[in-house]
Structure 1
Amino acid sequence: MEQREGQPARQADDGWWSGRLHELWSVADRAQDVTGLADSLYGMLLGMPGVVAVVGARWTGGLLHYLRSVTRAEPTPALVEIEQDCGARGAARAPKGEPVVTVHEVSELDAGMPHVQVLLAAGARAVAGCTVPLGQGDLASFMVGTAGIGAIDRTLRTRLKQVAEVTVVSDRRITARRRDEMRQVSDAFLAEASLQMDSSLDVEKTSRRVARMAVPAVAEGCLLHLCRSGGLTPVASTHMDAREQEWLGVVADEDPWLADVLRRVVDGGQGLVLRGDELAGGPFGATASGAGRAVRSLSVNPLKARGRTLGTLTFLYHRVDIAEEAPRFLAGLADRAALAIDSSTLYEQRRRHVVSLQRHLLPSGLPRTPGLTLSSAYEVGDASLDVGGDFYDAVPGAQGEVTLLIGDVCGRGAEAAALTGLARHTLRTLIEDGRPPEHALGRLNQALLREGTSRFVTALVAVLVPDGKGFHLRYWSAGHPAPLLRRADGAVEELPAHGDLLGVLEDIEYGSGSAHVTPGDALVLFTDGVTEARAADGTFFESRLRDAVARQGAGEPRGFAERLAEAAVEFRATGADDIAVLVAHAGVAA
């Protein structure tokens, strides 16, 4: 028996429900996946009179992926991954219009279905159900089990529709945001991959770099095979979980199912995406064992140049929706690989362009300033990445003062390089025009917001004004690491600096402060690549920074910045962030 309307609404606590519904909307606004709504949503429905169980399921047609449930006896949400093909009898179908609630006696349902078994075990005799569409063709169904058909009134059906509508709206927002994020990730990956491949004509070395870049930026795992005389040979395997690295390498080298898939791609010359039942028989998907079960989909694309297939690039995804973006950016990646291999002349030309770009991101030299010795250093965190996001500069003033700039753009690659140039040149131009530092930082913040970038920028501006006894220092920080002041006797002081990041908020506040720099003192500015350099035992250079500043500042002032940067590089065993250091040493003629 199916019942849709006709029962009187029970007297409900509208205030309680309104408050919980408002909370659910708040959770939905922050959720990264619709599963993030589960605790709030299920608790709301279970709290209604007469409800003994709430069961949710995710479907792709007749394929049941998982069940999430709460019952009066077990109010803590339980998640069971199933991956069971229930066929036509279990195929979930969403309405074409707004969500529709259907009501059934549990005895009318197929007792062999997993969700029905949960309802029966909880003592449910009737169920109100609602199915809604999710991204990538999936469906979510919500089932509220009650002790009897009389408990399912208009109030319960209305509330079930409301939570279904929240789920639909939240999923659409999440899907749109994820699609946009993936597009940005894909574009950034292609840009950075171009830089990587342009830095070497060694195909195998380049391939390994691409594989490292792809995880986890593009997928959870990556395999790269090249065509050799003996057939397809694995040259790179990377997994986001280091514990699965060895397993993935064995799969890449020995698994016959994967070898057959790769041969099909090479022979056909076209990429493919496999998911669900298409993964059956191989080391990935629901029917696999061990680490391979987490792989929801697989994409394979040929790498071709001049009509010749060089190999294959395979991505492993733990989420189906990421694989949907694979064809577009993998085709672009293949094009870039072909160009990198095709011509050493083109490589040299592009290499010069990259070097020119890096040169323009940093000043060609530091100004001569009476009473100060300025020194700087820049170290690339990963030798395979040519363009980073750190910048610095020094701007002399008409009254003998000098303004020091240092900053860091979040991330690296083409977009980060463009923002680095924007940040340095904006600050320098405004300072040269006589604008106050806080005004220059505000203008840069507005410029970044207009760019609509997802990256943020930290920056610090320090002004040194001669006062006859040294220099009066004023500084303004926008989320940048606090500078250090090394006194002539070797003591090191941290100058407090806080402030908001640039490019995030319309209205921001800056951290600011002042100090006096006497002859023999040195002001040390740096980016977080210094503090976050990490030794093999996990120790950060930040814990030794003051000692390093005290020690390295004892030498020749002109080489202070270089010595400090080298100390951080020598200390670092891991970490791929660039390092920038700018030092102003007082009391030594330029």
Structure 2
Amino acid sequence: MKERTHETPGAPSGWWRHLHELWLAAVRAQDVTMLATRVYSALSEVPGAAAVVGARWAGRETSYLRRWTPDSDETVTWYPAAADWPGGAVPPPVGTPGEPPRVRRCDPGTVAPLVAPALRGTGAVTVLECLFPLGTDDTAGLWIALDRPPSEDEEQELRERLEQVADILMVSNRRILEDEVHERRQARDAFLAEASLQMDESLEVEETLRRVARLAVPAVAEGCAVHLLRPDGGLEPVATAHVAADAQAWLGEVALHDAWLAERLRQVAGQSRGRVLRGGDLSGGPFGPDAVGDGKTIRALSVSPLRARGRVLGTLTFLYHRDDTSLADLPTLADLAGRAALAIDTATLYAQRRQHVETLQRQLLPRVLPEAPGVLLSAAYEVGDPSLDVGGDFYDAVVAGDRISLFIGDVCGRGAEAAAYTALARHTLRTLLTDGMAPERTLERLNGALVEEGAARFVTALVVTLTPAAGGGWDADIAGAGHPWPLVRHADGTVEELPARGLLLGVVPGAEYAPHRVRLADGDALVLFTDGLTEARAADGTCFEDLLHDAVRGIGPVDELSARRLVTAASDFREMGDDDTAVLIAHLRGRP
């Protein structure tokens, strides 16, 4: 048994030391129960103390009962589930947070039933009881049992001490609760920020839907289902996820076929706020204690509407197997659903725009290349800019009599204006070459048309006309307007650059373009391309232009996929550079 020294109420220095130490501990405590040793140490030095008892309870459920007596060196703590639990009935809740503690004097026979058994055998004659609220539906109490009736001054001193201790505990608990709220808010904000980043990383609708389902399991709940609104008004499951792999198939079936769930989703989809279902709300459905199989252990279900830009997109459903749902409050779910809906809507709009751009882009390029006697044509086009603006690269081929004309070009910039000039350039060149006009004259006419239009964008172009030579092979008449020069891969594997000098189109009125003629042999391949091919850069800054001759030399067998293989080689090389790439290759096989 520890040795005790008693202080008189008139000698407060020791008490204030205890109180100061209690304050210092209170500012660091993570739970008020961590202050028990100091509280009981301070109160045990009250003159005549036969026992000090403390308890905490929520509603009608006791958390613990703790007692100090003079014959023990430390406190003894009991919990309701223990076999030696000495406690009785729980007192009613005491006030609300912020209300002052309630102190009363009573005898052991009228003390609260919760602590009465703990005071038996202590020799208690008088008891001072202090009850105080720690939080909503969270109450604590301290009881000092005295072995003699206190004087009026002693009782007043004890009341003040109990109130002071209770005040420290209430302030400490309030600080702890505020810290917990702050931590939960930080966790929620961090989760929502990460969720936004994850969902915004993809503009593919299906991938976005999978990310929405995956990122919330198990951070928010054990299961998740995303339903989107169909044109007929029904809800279709588009993504599911469950922390248990063997429950994944079950959840997919429930999300697709269960009528009970479909009705709840339909109800929430038409509302502005979400809904949490638990207990009796789960009756009749595939979840909760009355269900069978995987759904039996689900304790709650939350459904939030997916709304973005004033439109209802669908619902976001979470399944909870555990009691801890700290991230599952309705405001957080509403925020997450809003972010998910915006990501899904953005991905959907992106997909629609991409489809529209691809349709427009196809209109700016030939649907098929013409068949030309003695020449096998191969072409490929790759979009380098993910902004979904129409690019300005174009190409085409025209067969007129025994002559085959090829052209390729690039309008500066992207977007609707670039598309308009692309269409003008392509159709002008095609019309003029179909009429048999020479390459240099077609460029001069196109330059005039662009200047007349007051074009704000310059255009580069390259035109090549192939005519069968009398002694075999082909005469190639080449005219260029600021465009990359073409390459020819000879039958023996050597690669040569063909000059094609000329001013940019749409800049200088009356510009003239001089042709250049070369003789190509059967078995040669003429390669036309835009600068997206040469300007593709590796991480170290190396340009694909440095490797272009080797790439042309190794484009593989002569077939319709030759251009695609060359574009793929540049794409695999590219780490930087976002320009579109067009390639047009003419394999000269000889006229039959």
How would you bin the TM-score normalised by the shorter chain? 0.3 to 0.5
When normalised by structure 2's length, the TM-score is 0.42
Structure in which a larger fraction of residues adopt helix: 1
